[in-house]
Amino acid sequence: MARLTARRRHLVMATVSVLALAATIPGCVAMATEDTGAPGRIQGTGKSDGKPGGTPGTASPGAGRTTAPARVSAEISHGSESKGKVVNITIDDGPEPVWTEKVLGLLKRYDVKATFCIVGTRAKEYPALVKKVVAAGHRLCNHSVDHNTAMDQRSEEYQKEQVLDALKMIRDAAGKDVEVRYYRAPGGAFTPYSREVAASHGMRPLGWSVDTHDWQNPGSARIVETVKRDLREGPTVLFHDGGGNRSQTVTALEELLPWLKDQGYAFAFPEI
């Protein structure tokens, strides 16, 4: 048999690599390749992959069910599943006993539902708090195993473990039938691969429209000002209940939640 040319050998190897990757992800389809800035990283607004697209799917069945999770779009979600003048409140990095409890209390007082982006190791440490979030009617989002903001620079195997191991930790804490509807990469460190892993397990990659920078503790007044100024950018607002002292976030939410209602905003969940 004639010896393969270098070009033909390259094409064969590329084909084998693609097939091998597809075999590792249930329901895998061709992954999006568009990115801007650092590879796979979402910049401060969570928008480097452009506006959300594709056809939204249904949420993942809970662990323990016999059916495979339904695949959802791998495009990063920035919008709301509800139309009109709405806000999607998202809360990251918990649960944490002091601040998650305070945030839950405020949300209950103002009858607001939110999406909690939960770190796997924190869910494992505080399962009762995860159950409390679910019992209050809020939605869950997978925020990786341990919030490594450089995970987009690591191997695909590492990224897969960060997404799927965290999913198991959150489900173990929340209950086997509780749906984890979203995946938000720590610090916005998405890659096409991690988005596909999440989407193939029923979790829509979740970006944000307004970054309050509350994790930097800029002062509650600055947090409030940022939200009021930047809401024109889109409905999904990023807050934190973990990762440090979140008293400024709590104070800001105490002012913002009634203000948003007075301005005619309704509260909704991110699109799936």
Residues belonging to the active site: 92, 240
Spatial contact of 99 and 253, defined as CB atoms under 8 Å apart: no
Q: Shortest CA distance to 151 belongs to which of 131, 133, 165?
A: 165
Spatial separation of the C-alpha atoms in residues 236 and 255, rounded to whole Å = 18
Rounded Cα distance, 8 and 5, in Å: 5
Please measure the distance between the N-terminal and C-terminal CA atoms of the chain and give it in whole angstroms. 52
20: how many CB neighbours lie within 10 A of its CB? 9
Q: What is the DSSP string of 25-85?
A: STT--PPP----SSTT---TTS-TT-S--S---PPPPPTT-SSPPPP---SPB-SBSS-SS
Please give the backbone phi and psi of residue 268, each rounded to the nearest 5 degrees, phi first: -140, -175
- Is 222 in a helix, a strand, or coil? helix
Give the H/E segment covering residue 141.
strand 139-142
